Structure 1
Amino acid sequence: MSTTPSTVHYLNQAVAQQLAGEFDAAERSYLEILRLDPQHSEAQHNMGVLLLNRGASDDALLYLLAALEIEPSRGQYWISYIDALFKAGQREAAQQVLELAVQQGLQGEEVDALCFQAQEIAPYSPVSAGVPSSQEQQTLLALFNAGQQSEAAVLARRMTLAYPSFGVGWKVLGAVTVSDKEALIPMQQAALLCPDDFEAHYNLGLILQALGQLDEAAASYRRALQLNPDYAQGYNNLGVTLQELGKFEEAEASYRRAVLIKPDYLNAYHNLGIVLQCLSRFDEAEAIHRKILQLNPDYPEAHCNLGIVLLSLGKNDEAVKCFRRALQLKPDFVVAHSNLIFCLDMASSADLSELLQERKRWDERHAARFLQAAPHSNTRSPDRLLRIGYVSADFRNHSASKAFGAMLTRYDRRQFEVFAYSNYKGEDDRYTRLFRENVTGWRNISAMSDEAATQLIRDDLIDILVDLSGHSAGNRLLIFARKPAPVQITAWGYAAGTGMRAMDVFFTDKVIVPPEEQRFYSEEIRYLPSALGSFFIDPFPDLNELPALNLGSITFGSFNRLAKISGQTYRIWAQILLQVPGSCLILKTPELNERSNRERILRYFENAGLTADRIVMLGRSSWFEHMRAYQQVDIALDPFPHGGGMTAMEGLMMGVPVITLNWPILTGRLSSSLMTTLGLQDWIVQSEDQYLELAIKKSAQLRQLSALRQTLRGLFSASIIGDQGAYTRVVEQEYRALWREWCASNGESN
């Protein structure tokens, strides 16, 4: 089916007109679509349904048959055509087509219902403007309440034909239809015909939410709650929808209303804790999760979310215990296990071999059983056009996308096609739109199961599939576990190794994974000139003069998120401030909007003997203002054991060099990689004592700092990290080499 902007417009218009009962207008819109595109199967199908409901069964059958012939793989088209034959009184023909459909593999509740109809149900009389008899209504509701959904579906479908103005028939039909997409129209009709039925509006909200139509879902939930203002579940689901839309304060209010109505509503408390995390109100979130555990100590999700909060509060050891407890309660809790891995990567006592062993345990417990031996049907030609697929929840304004964005926008279209598989439910932003406009294919898999997404990727014939998340939030590693593509790579977003036997390659560099450490990894290590690229689409503020030249004292800075800043880091930073006279430290991150976070951090420094005026804490701002804050900073301080990545890059583009400790584990080597690539190894140290000494030394070199400030941006932009096109070409060379190796190992054919 081809779809042009014009047909999309007419299709949306036609569906809206059909729902509003404007059948003549809807018919004209469908006919206009078919004039523009006679092979538009959905318009053929909907036109047939419209005519059937208006009693024109002979004409309806022509359109429904046309839809089926255009797209015979659509099960709904078979069902609609067979159902129309029954309604037209062509019982024998309907039975023959039904037998053919079943022979070809058509199955499901709606097919069972048609089989039931073929055997049991007599046809209704022609369309009536009235309502069904009380006996008919009671029979329908009895079937529905007894869970006999196939039989209820048959009766409801025929009732909507005979009594199209009877809203309960549409309501039951929508409730028993398995597919959300197919349930949408009957439930919309129910809400139109039963404007005061809160369940109709609530159920419509559920369907719209499942389909990702979040604004419409929120409107339906709000209408339901106007009719039934004491429905706690409605407030909870409204909160979930608002949260997915990024409206965190409104979501919080909705969750609070739910628990006010129902004080033991664990799911609403759970969601409230999560939205408080999104608002960086970690102390409040911690209290909520602990309240849940008072109500139910064996709630694994609460232990997991408490762990996330504690990690954000710098309580790493406690967070590890929470994730381990969640896994004890729910051994297959894959998200908790990935969170445990992420948390262990932050631990100052972490050992590389232990971290990678935990990743292998994750693979053994959650992923290894899904590894498929099914062959791939990709054409084994080494030099043909290749399809590259990227999987991420971060195709948006996110730090991760600023490392991989060029892969989706600067690729060589003569050699590659790019497909993006987005695991994000929220609204598009300008980064999303930019990526969507540039890729060959865009797929949102956020509502898809791992099995369905795996099949989609196989159907798209992806040659090389790239994971952009690792074990960070929003990952879909269990898709990769099923090996939907011949070659699979982990890179960029949280590239720290996955531990998966299904992951073929890990893109990194020799600073992050030295050659002697390759043996620890499950993946084959392939080296790039730099593990990170850059993708900045907005102009940076102008460079300014070194602030210390005017102030007469050094200003240090860290703009990293608080979870990366360990107690050890605060201790060393305090020592630096004590030993560099007049110096101060600027901390900037959205989490510092919360007073409790500011008070907690200030205690670290006050306990070390520093006064509050030496610490400046700045919260959320626009990206441009965030960058402009670097104009107040002379030297950036990298946290450890988990160092900065994109934060260090942005500082370098603002002329601010970073002192970094090259930690023994790879997540503590990102800034070392950047500084090595730029030839600034004199800013890298190997111990905490050296970190302190270097900060004191560099703070005394104002002339050198001033000169470096004016050259860093140009140095970065000219490097392989800053040159988006050059970096992409290097990556594409690796793609081609990997593909040729796969072809050679599996045989070649044209």
Structure 2
Amino acid sequence: MDVPSEIRRSFELFAAGRLDEAANVAGEVLAVSPEEPSAHRVLAGVFLRRGQLDQALESARRAWEIDPSVPEAAANLAAILVEARQGEEAERMARRATEMAPDFVSAWVNLGLAFRCQSRQHDAVDAFRRAIQLQPGHHGALANLGNVLCEVGEYAEAAECSRRVLQMRPGMVAAENNLGNALLKLGQIDEAILAYGRALAGGPGDAEIEYNLAIALEQAGRLSESEDVQRGVLSRVPGHARATNNLGVALKLQGRLDEAADQFERAVQHSPQSTPAFANRLSTMLCRPSGSPEEILVAHREACDSLWAGLELPTVDDADPRSVDAPLRIGFVSPDFGHHPVGRFLLSGFESFEAHRVQAVCFSDRIQVDAFTDRFRSAAEDWFDIRGRDDSVVAGWVRDAGIDVLVDLTGHTGRHRLGVFARRPARLQLTWIGYPSTTGLPAIDGLVADEVLVPEGAETAFCERIIRLADGHISYLPPVDAPDVDVGSGSGEVVFGSFNKLDKTTPVVLATWARILLGQPGSRLVLRSRGLDDPRVAERFGGLLAEAGVDRDRISLHGWVSHAELLAGYGEIDIGLDTFPFSGGLTSCEALWMGVPVVTWAGRRMCGRQTASFLSRVGLEDLVVGSEDKYVEKALELAGDVALRRSLRQELRGRMRDGPLCDGQRLATEFTSAVERAWREWDVL
């Protein structure tokens, strides 16, 4: 037998996809020459293509053991180890291959894949870039680079990589999928949906692409379609934890909270370390009418125990190295340093910190950079981009940055980093603004609120100590694109309205609003929210109100529009109706800024007292009530007081602008003084 010739033939057969013939030839070679490493490499490739991972590993290891001087053997073993999710060993083998052959492109690609297997995304970027330097037209390296760039937040470059791949390989399914992922992160939702559609045309029935498409449909407000697609994924892959979680999201955004809660429970069972599933389960609990504040605390504690109870905490020096007169280095951790409710509630205060008292440091996980992001960055002493970084890495950065006080601005909401706080990288750790409830995390020492948001006596519902700012826990930054207030006459039919999210607009809320409409003949109700332009969703909401006795012609349902159009929509609203038990946040502030008074039922939960806090800063405590019946009475009373509504329409914007609710300097001063006091007086470690 001419062994070299037969080896070449087996490789050619393998490259042509003729796997059985390639394996037969390699087997014949091994029958004659059992120590022929190339034959073992061919068999490893065949087994891998067939999905026989154990046999592939055995053959690849044997090839490497026979001749460890061959870089291809090391690279092939690395590739199979990646498939086996053995990232550390895969990295060692890929490094050996690059050391033996520094210009071996496949070895660099496999090194990048090994880094990805270990969630070391930035190291993977470097490896894929090296592969592309060596071979600019290597479509595999470009495709993988585009994929990992999406994970580290470089979405524009990720999209460009995918487009380059598609120029070389038109219709490549993975590249279309990666392009869709990048476009979705860039906020180009319609284009992302088209990319996923092209990917599915080339790979029909691909569960992962369908999962991504469903997320894009949800973000486009096409909630029913999103639900249908995720159910299709789960019909084929019942244990798909992320699809289960995102089916829950689609249901939650439709206001179908009980169904959503069931899906989040399943997602947690499928993936017990899924922070998104736990976060969604907890936020759904806040929206549902059942559950006392104490029960909510228990649920949050249990979630945190499940996720982080086993972490080993670092040893912290008891000595305080800071000079007495040195400013506090306060780190802020958030994905929301931008046009987001958190950004709008914090920015004016953040820009007003006094440098001799506070050095503000941002640890930003922001996806879409905008003008607010630039303002936060300009006002910060230091800025760390934590996109794609593991919580343990970020915790190390916090320690290295010498942060005295670390502030969470997210709580259990999307892309939160409570895992950083669980590692206790700072001596004093607080939560503020982003989540109107306890975190349930023992490593969070304090929660920043005010006397309305968390009244005296409500402390038992929190694991954190409560810090109350005297004149409110936020400073609202009014939008520059807000139209002038439409004063109108205040007479004629009364129009009630709510622009809150549908998950807050529960059947109980709708039934209460129906009582108000029935008590005010001739009145109308206007609802505006993402998802209401979905016919099935709109039909459900209209049906719930009709069941409560409200004629359809008294209800106007609108989907989402641009922010400027949204604000202009308040021109037809006379009275804002707040949701409960989870009240409006930014939505309530915007209504007030547009001259619309808001009636709120402030319950025992912190999440239900946000609007009450805002109203107290503009002298409208009278619009805050403590029961459903009082809520209905107050809305009808205000509907009948034309003179009061007319005066509020004219005065509300001025009250906000000139009072504590829009005073960033006030917020900065109160927050700084409160944190300085906690730093001096609290024994937190």
- For 1:156 and 1:717, the matched residues in 2 are separated by 62
Partner of 2:339: 397
Name 1:645's counterpart in structure 2: 585
The Cα shift of 1:736 comes to 1.1
Structure-1 separation of matches of 2:416 and 2:193 = 25
CA contact (8 A) 1:471 1:498 kept: yes
How far off its partner does 1:226 sit? 3.7
Question: How far did residue 206 of structure 1 move?
Answer: 3.4
Q: 1:208 to 1:693 in 2, by over 3 A?
A: closer
Is the counterpart of residue 173 in structure 1 residue 108 in structure 2?
yes
Matches within 5 A, 1:491-530: 491-529=432-470, 530=472
Work out whether residues 171 and 186 of structure 1, in 8 Å CA contact, stay in contact via their aligned partners in 2: no
In structure 2, C-alpha distance between the alignment counterparts of 1:331 and 1:145, rounded to whole Å: 29
Check conservation: 1:372, 1:482, Cα contact below 8 A: yes
Is 1:222 the counterpart of 2:163? The answer is: yes
Partners in 2 of 1:565 and 1:441 — Cα distance? 40
What letter is aligned with 2:594?
M
Distance 1:208 1:356, change over 3 A: closer
Partner-residue secondary structure (3-state), 2:447? strand
Distance 1:520 1:496 in 2: 9
Select which of 174, 189, 202 maps to 2:133.
Answer: 189
Q: Which residue of 2 aligns with 1:334?
A: 275
Indicate conservation of the 8 Å contact 1:183/1:207, yes or no. no
Distance 1:379 1:198, change over 3 A: same
1:558 to 481, 488, 498: 498
Q: What TM-score, normalized by structure 2, do the two folds share?
A: 0.82
TM-score, L = length of structure 1: 0.75
**2:646 aligned with 1:706:** yes
Higher mean C-alpha displacement, 529-538 vs 292-301: 529-538
Q: In structure 2, what is the equivalent of residue 675 of structure 1? A: 615
1:723 — aligned with what? 663
Cross-structure match for 1:572: 512
Name the CA shift for 1:710/1:294 in 2 (closer, same or farther; >3 Å): same
Q: Are 1:245 and 2:180 an aligned pair?
A: no
Return closer, same or farther for 1:149/1:663 CA change in 2, 3 Å cut-off: closer
Is the aligned partner of 1:277 residue 2:212? no
Q: Does 1:629 align with 2:569?
A: yes
- Show the 5 A alignment for 1:598-613: 598-613=538-553
Aligned match for 1:206, one of 139, 147, 151:
147
Choose from 348, 368, 374 the match for 1:406. Answer: 348
Partner of residue 25, structure 1:
none
Structure 1's 733 and 226: CA in aligned 2 closer, same or farther, altered over 3 A? same
For residue 466 of structure 2, give the secondary structure of its aligned residue in structure 1.
strand
Partner of 1:457: 398
**Secondary structure of the equivalent of 2:587?**
helix
* Alignment size in residue pairs: 601
Post-superposition Cα deviations, 1:230-285, rounded to whole Å, max 9, x if no partner, equal 54333222222222222222222222333333344222222122111111211111
- Cα distance change on mapping 1:145 and 1:318 into 2, 3 Å: closer
Alignment pair present for 1:697 and 2:637: yes
Q: Select 1:538's aligned residue among 480, 489, 510.
A: 480
Q: Which amino acid aligns with 1:189?
A: Q
* Alignment equivalent of 1:474, drawn from 411, 415, 432: 415
* SS of structure 2 residue aligned to 1:345: helix
Aligned: 1:375 with 2:334: no
Q: Point out where structure 1 has 5 or more consecutive residues left out of the alignment.
A: 1-115, 122-135, 162-168
SS of alignment partner, residue 291 of structure 2: coil
**SS at 2:531's partner residue?**
helix
1:378–1:628 distance in 2 versus 1, CA, 3 Å: farther
| Identity percentage of aligned residues | 31
The 1:298–1:558 alpha-carbon spacing in structure 2 relative to 1, beyond 3 Å, is same
CA–CA separation in structure 1 for the residues paired with 2:480 and 2:556:
27
CA contact (8 A) 2:497 2:573 kept: yes
Other-structure match for 1:131 = none
Residue 191 (structure 1) shift: 4.1
**Cα displacement string for residues 18-69 of structure 1 (whole angstroms, at most 9, x for unaligned residues):** xxxxxxxxxxxxxxxxxxxxxxxxxxxxxxxxxxxxxxxxxxxxxxxxxxxx
> 3-state SS of the aligned residue for 1:592?
coil
Offset at residue 399 of structure 1 (A): 1.7
Secondary structure (helix, strand or coil) at the match of 1:280 reads: coil
1:596 aligns with 2:539: no
Paired residues for 1:4-19 under 5 Å: none
* Pair 207,688 (structure 1): closer, same or farther in 2 beyond 3 Å: closer
Query: In 1, are the aligned partners of 2:152 and 2:387 still within 8 Å (CA)?
Result: no
CA RMSD of aligned residues (A): 2.6
Q: Cα 1:142–1:653, aligned 2, differ >3 Å: closer, same or farther?
A: closer
How many Å separate the matches in 2 of 1:308 and 1:671?
25
Which residue pairs with 2:43 in the alignment? Answer: none
Matches of 2:76 and 2:309, distance apart in 1? 46
Please name the residue that 1:84 is paired with: none
* Gaps in structure 2 of 5+ consecutive residues: 1-63, 82-89, 116-122
CA 581–142 in structure 1, closer or farther in 2 if over 3 Å, else same: closer
- What is the deviation of 1:455? 0.2
Q: Kindly indicate whether the alpha-carbon contact (under 8 Å) linking 1:468 and 1:495 is maintained by their aligned counterparts in 2.
A: no
Code of the residue aligned with 2:133 in structure 1: it is: Q
